[in-house]
Amino acid sequence: MKVLKFGGTSVANAQNIKLVLEIVKQNSKGEKLAVVVSALSKVTDLLQLAAAKAAANDESFREIVAEIEKKHLDTLKELIPVSEQSSLLSHIKRIINHLETLLDGCFLLGELSPRTADTILSFGELLSSYIIAQAYQQIDKNAAYKDSREIIKTNNNFGKAAVNFEISNQLIQEYFAENQSQINILPGFIALTLDGITTTLGRGGSDYTAAIIAGALDATQLEIWTDVNGMFTANPKVVKQAHPIPTISYQEAMELSHFGAKVLYPPTIQPVLRKNIPILIKNTFEPEAAGTLITNQAPANGTAVRGISHIDNISLLTLEGPGMIGVAGSSRRLFEVLSHEKINVIFITQASSEHSICIGILNSDADNAEAAINKAFEIEISQNKIDPCIVEKNLCIIALVGENMKNHQGLSGRMFSTLGKNNVNIRAIAQGASERNISAVINERDVKKALNTLHENFFEENTKQLNLFVMGVGNVGEKFIEQIHNQRKFLKENLKINVRVIALSNSRKMLFDEDGISLKEWQAALDNGETANKEDFITRAKELNLRNSIFVDITANASVSETYEQFLKQSIAVVTCNKIACSSAFDNYKKLKSLSRQYNAPFLFETNVGAGLPIIDTVKNLIASGDKVHKIQAVLSGSLNFIFNNFDKNNSFHDVVKEAGVQGFTEPDPKIDLSGIDVARKILILIRESGYEMDIDAIANESFLPAECLATINNEDFFASLIKHAPHFEKIYEEALAKDSRLKYVAQFENGKASVGLQFIPKDHPFYNLEGKDNIVLFYTDRYVDQPLLIKGAGAGAAVTASGIFADVIRIGNV
């Protein structure tokens, strides 16, 4: 014999009930069935609300009763042929009338006793089971209806009655021995005292009813039919990558269900566990899916961690003080207080010093618990031996669960390291001696990030999801998005990195999508996005609180560079090609580097110098390995190198600068490049990364631009001034020609001094043959004395800059 239980969503309406009837029909072939059903979806909530309103003398409870009546009558009419409806509709109305009489009593008395509440709540299952039984009898007359109250007996602990198994088992066995029907349909959740008073079995009571019957009858299997494909590795509504667990042990299932896996009510397992009756979790809406099989042992080759679960709305209460050290009975007194107040303790941890003890309870119990504890220990508190109870609300408990965790070393460290890397602060920790569960209390705002991070680490073959917030999608930004789109499959398959763009922004519009923006038509989506707002962009990124978040700045905007601190303090990594932050005041530069370390948030800016060339990374490796940089010589502006390589008697200086802009080699404001400030920033960054303290005003900037050109305030005036001063630039070119040299804009650092400026480079110099937009850097160090370390390559252009930014993102993915 099998026992099947169908939950509220499975019997939510006539359409769903038809699916249930077909499942029962398929399972009944050659085997007797006991079918336990819940109330129609949301009906129990409506009954609770009606009872509360009636007890509060609120006449609107009658509207709720009318809604409940209509819901059941409509369901019955859709399931039963018109010719068979009359007597059945009358029966439903008699039940509803009885319900309304009870609620009228609550209204007149202005109270709702636990006993009356149980009777009122029982109507949901009584109505649904009656309708479903009548509907199935239209298919198969060999089906019977049985009121569970007649065979399950409890004490009078209304709201969560305790079952008298000795009497109940006997009654269940007698009924099914005498009844020859192939199908028996019963209401879940409800029972009866020995005095004949209706009781309920608590939250998830329909699961419990099914397990009680299965245990009493030594059923071959208990099937729990719900709206998901079994127990998942994590809550699939929070963790999109979660997947069903094929098989799991009773103990693992109890741990997961206790910690919020709502497909199974924890006490359900007890009656079947003693008999080793397997439980199968199935999906009513996908009956062909395998589901989850719960048995008496975990698979031998299963993973150490079987699932990750959590409990929301937790408060942490801490009782501490020197008066607890070595004093026997402090813990007993604490738990007696909570027991007296009927407060359930969900989480416990105590240090071996006995100085403090922490407990986790529901938020709804926190105020009551705090008052009761302070009263119980008021003498010790008044004598300053114990501090008043400390209460922290709005927390959450997350738990790793697995039967085989005890055989694996380092799981706790891996769990806490994973959370720490994403700035998830742990308030308390607990692990039982069985090592089947590792629990941690965290802030509820971090729960989504924590669950996704842990799931990624333990269940997704170490695939790391990177969530990007990109500001600036001009020439470089477009290339960056294109590169991500083209490489996503490669990254996922070969590097186990899943890159998602969560947000995009330009100066006009911004676009957010928590599930990741489609990179095929992102331009059109951004054009239809909301008005760009830097502060809102930052706030949204913080509020989403996604794991492995990276802010990517592809602007040259000073105000954007000032936001890095906010991101780093939220453990959001920063990748930037914007040189302003790292060339700002030295104290700010050091602060950003310090915040990066403090909050474990990478701060990468390889493209600040040399676009896609590995210049900064090389300097970092030199310093880390113990080398010391003494001298730097460099051509660091790809745009200026392009300009002076193409400027000759056939191409005016004005025209070449224009062309550099068209090809994307200069900043939107070309004066930033031509004034030398951009090169000064770059050499300053290299100096700082080499371990020296310097600010931008210490760098001598020997500008080749006339003062009038430097004084212009817009591009139009600037280009006009280049035409006006054409003779000046031609003179410089002629002088280089006369010296048989080439013009290069050079940055230098030596003996603590730095400068940038235009130089005449002779033929025997390494810079002479530097073509196009290339950069070159020479590092003279303790190890590279006579022959410098040389790095050379393309140092400008949208594609190479984008590739440098992309490389920094991948570096973070590989951490």
Domain-embedded: residue 668: yes
Q: Are 170 and 161 in contact (CB under 8 A)?
A: no
The CATH number for 384's domain is 3.30.2130.10
- Kindly state whether residues 601 and 662 are assigned to the same domain: no
Cβ neighbour number for residue 553 with a 10 Å cutoff? 24
Q: How far is it, in rounded angstroms, from Cα 530 to Cα 505? A: 10
| Beta strands 699-702 and 753-761, pairing class | parallel
Q: How far is it, in rounded angstroms, from Cα 322 to Cα 354? A: 9
- Kindly state whether residues 397 and 471 are assigned to the same domain: no
Give tens-digit pLDDT for 497-531: 999 999 999 999 999 999 999 999 999 999 999 99
Rg of the chain, C-alpha, whole Å: 36
The CATH number for 497's domain is 3.40.50.720
Average pLDDT over residues 262-266: 70
Total domains in the fold of the chain: 4
- Alpha carbon 562 to chain centroid, angstroms: 27
- Kindly state whether residues 657 and 777 are assigned to the same domain: yes
Q: Are 245 and 301 in contact (CB under 8 A)?
A: no
- Kindly state whether residues 648 and 526 are assigned to the same domain: no
- Whole-number mean pLDDT of the chain? 92
Q: Which of 295-299, 639-643, 729-733 has the highest mean pLDDT?
A: 729-733
Quote the pLDDT of residue 450: 93
The CATH number for 723's domain is 3.30.360.10
Q: What percent of the chain has pLDDT over 90?
A: 74
Domain-embedded: residue 235: no
Q: How confident is the model at residue 559 (pLDDT cuts 50, 70, 90)?
A: very high
Q: How far is it, in rounded angstroms, from Cα 303 to Cα 693? A: 51
pLDDT surpasses 90 at 301: no
Q: How confident is the model at residue 433 (pLDDT cuts 50, 70, 90)?
A: low
Q: Which residue has the higher pLDDT, 746 or 329?
A: 746
- Please give the backbone phi and psi of residue 738, each rounded to the nearest 5 degrees, phi first: -65, -30
Quote the pLDDT of residue 261: 59
Which residue type sits at 9? T
- Kindly state whether residues 424 and 476 are assigned to the same domain: no
Cβ neighbour number for residue 520 with a 10 Å cutoff? 9
- Alpha carbon 288 to chain centroid, angstroms: 30
| Beta strands 33-37 and 509-512, pairing class | unpaired
Q: Are 503 and 511 in contact (CB under 8 A)?
A: yes
pLDDT surpasses 80 at 407: no
Average pLDDT over residues 350-366: 84
- Kindly state whether residues 508 and 634 are assigned to the same domain: no
Quote the pLDDT of residue 772: 83
Q: How confident is the model at residue 353 (pLDDT cuts 50, 70, 90)?
A: low
- Alpha carbon 126 to chain centroid, angstroms: 40
Q: What percent of the chain has pLDDT over 70?
A: 97
Q: Are 209 and 37 in contact (CB under 8 A)?
A: no
Query: What is the number of alpha carbons within 13 Å of residue 809 lying toward its C-beta?
Result: 33
Domain-embedded: residue 44: yes
- Please give the backbone phi and psi of residue 131, each rounded to the nearest 5 degrees, phi first: -65, -45
- Name the domain boundary from 226, 246, 261: 226
- Kindly state whether residues 9 and 121 are assigned to the same domain: yes
Quote the pLDDT of residue 120: 97
Q: Are 362 and 341 in contact (CB under 8 A)?
A: no
Which of 282, 448, 449, 682 does the annotation list as catalytic? Answer: 682
Helices (H), 274-358: 330-340
Quote the pLDDT of residue 409: 74
Q: What is the domain range of residue 354?
A: 307-459
Bridge partners, residue 777, by sequence: 634, 791
Q: Are 455 and 309 in contact (CB under 8 A)?
A: no
Query: What is the number of alpha carbons within 13 Å of residue 410 lying toward its C-beta?
Result: 4
DSSP string, 699-721: EEEE--S-HHHHH--SHHHHHHH
**Which segment of 201-205, 554-558, 571-575 scores lowest on mean pLDDT?**
201-205
CA distances (Å), 280 to each of 200, 222, 289, 728, in order? 24, 6, 11, 86
Domain-embedded: residue 198: yes
Structure tokens at 218: 């030594």
- Kindly state whether residues 563 and 422 are assigned to the same domain: no
Q: Which helix (H) or strand (E) holds 316?
A: strand 307-320
- Kindly state whether residues 659 and 791 are assigned to the same domain: yes
Quote the pLDDT of residue 562: 96
- Kindly state whether residues 436 and 567 are assigned to the same domain: no
Give tens-digit pLDDT for 75-107: 999 999 999 899 999 999 999 999 999 999 999
DSSP string, 478-515: HHHHHHHHHHHHHIIIII-EEEEEEEEE-SSEEEE-TT
Q: How confident is the model at residue 814 (pLDDT cuts 50, 70, 90)?
A: confident
Quote the pLDDT of residue 405: 78
pLDDT surpasses 90 at 237: no
Q: Are 684 and 701 in contact (CB under 8 A)?
A: no
Give tens-digit pLDDT for 249-261: 888 888 887 655 5
Q: Are 347 and 300 in contact (CB under 8 A)?
A: no
Domain-embedded: residue 353: yes
Domain-embedded: residue 231: no
pLDDT surpasses 90 at 309: no
Give tens-digit pLDDT for 735-790: 999 999 999 999 999 999 999 999 999 999 999 999 888 899 999 999 999 899 99
Q: Are 506 and 532 in contact (CB under 8 A)?
A: yes
| Beta strands 464-471 and 437-443, pairing class | unpaired
- Please give the backbone phi and psi of residue 685, each rounded to the nearest 5 degrees, phi first: -65, -40
- Please give the backbone phi and psi of residue 752, each rounded to the nearest 5 degrees, phi first: 80, 5
Burial of 536 (0-12, 13-18, 19+ CB in 10 A): middle
Q: How far is it, in rounded angstroms, from Cα 103 to Cα 428? A: 45
Quote the pLDDT of residue 236: 86
- Name the domain boundary from 582, 610, 638: 610
- Kindly state whether residues 555 and 590 are assigned to the same domain: yes
Domain-embedded: residue 375: yes
Structure tokens at 416: 């806490």
- Name the domain boundary from 577, 610, 643: 610
Q: Is 682 a catalytic residue?
A: yes
Quote the pLDDT of residue 302: 64
Average pLDDT over residues 46-70: 96
- Kindly state whether residues 788 and 640 are assigned to the same domain: yes
Q: Are 425 and 446 in contact (CB under 8 A)?
A: yes
Nearest to 642 by CA among 489, 790, 800: 800
pLDDT surpasses 90 at 368: yes
Domain-embedded: residue 505: yes
Q: Compute the CA torsion angle 512, 516, 522, 527 (nearest 10 deg).
A: -10
Q: How confident is the model at residue 431 (pLDDT cuts 50, 70, 90)?
A: confident
